[in-house]
Amino acid sequence: EAGVAQSPRYKIIEKRQSVAFWCNPISGHATLYWYQQILGQGPKLLIQFQNNGVVDDSQLPKDRFSAERLKGVDSTLKIQPAKLEDSAVYLCASSLAGVSYNNEQFFGPGTRLTVL
Amino acid sequence: GENVEQHPSTLSVQEGDSAVIKCTYSDSASNYFPWYKQELGKRPQLIIDIRSNVGEKKDQRIAVTLNKTAKHFSLHITETQPEDSAVYFCAATLGAGKSTFGDGTTLTVKP
């Protein structure tokens, strides 16, 4: 089966600019996650969707980050304006369902963001 | 919220030796504990997982143990090979699917 797709793979922007990332989960996966992975650290959950509803966004810096999953399939994550500390890899993951024993998450290749 | 601590941060072993990575978690409601392997520049991939109703699980050279009372779980790799070299992450997951990851262990297997 096709895996989780993300684009772009790399992005370089200057601080205060805006940027958007796109994710297409595995077909049929109801749950979608966005993670931020700073170099040398583990992935940190930014937001979790169940279909098109938000399950958890407690660690999303809402003054500058936003995410949507309007039709319950693809998702976009936006940063506006970007700061130097936003430099990281942004990983998208999907799973069959959140509230079940099918918790295995499948990760996309990530988008490496560099903010100058 | 959940807090996951992972040790050691780096681990170097000789080929053929065993490697053990340990994680502790804080939220007793966590019920699913996956381990991911991430090679340089690649995506994390699940290598083994364990649910809270099980104490141990084994898959060939890889095993995971869980102690719910002490809130810690461990990854054991036996007969290590150079291709096992990677960063390994543990995670503790709540019922709704929210996962908190450790900061990773860089394993180097020397031939």
Residue A81: count other Cβ atoms within 10 Å of its Cβ: 15
CB spacing of B93 vs A103 below 8 angstroms? yes
The DSSP string of B39-102 is -TTS--EEEEEEETT-SEEEETTEEEEEETTTTEEEEEE-S--GGG-EEEEEEEE-TTS-EEE-
Full pLDDT tens readout for chain A, 116 residues: 579 999 999 999 999 999 999 999 999 899 999 999 999 899 999 999 998 899 999 999 999 999 999 888 999 999 999 999 999 999 999 998 755 555 789 999 999 999 99
What Å distances lie between residue B37 and A68, B17, B49, CA to CA? 29, 18, 12
Chain B interface mutation, best of A35, A96, A103, highest count of B Cβ atoms under 10 Å: A103
Nearest residue in chain A measured CA to CA from B4: A42
Q: Does the pLDDT at position B74 exceed 90? A: yes
Stretch 20-59 of chain A: residues touching chain B, C-beta under 8 Å: 31, 33, 40-45, 48, 50, 55-56, 58
| Contact residues, chain B, for A44 at CB < 8 Å | 101
Category of B69 on φ-ψ map: left (φ > 0), alpha (ψ -120 to 50) or beta: alpha
Q: Does the pLDDT at position B105 exceed 80? A: yes
Per residue in B91-103, is it b (16+ CB within 10 Å) or e — as a string? bbbbebbbbbbbb
Mean pLDDT of chain B, nearest integer? 94
Residue A88: count other Cβ atoms within 10 Å of its Cβ: 20
Of A41, A55, A91, the CB nearest to B96: A55
pLDDT at A96: 85
Q: Which sign does the torsion angle of CA A54, A46, A92, A78 carry?
A: positive
- How do beta strands B105-110 and B10-14 pair? parallel
CB spacing of A99 vs B97 below 8 angstroms? yes
Among A99-103, B20-24, B26-30, the range scoring the smallest mean pLDDT is: A99-103
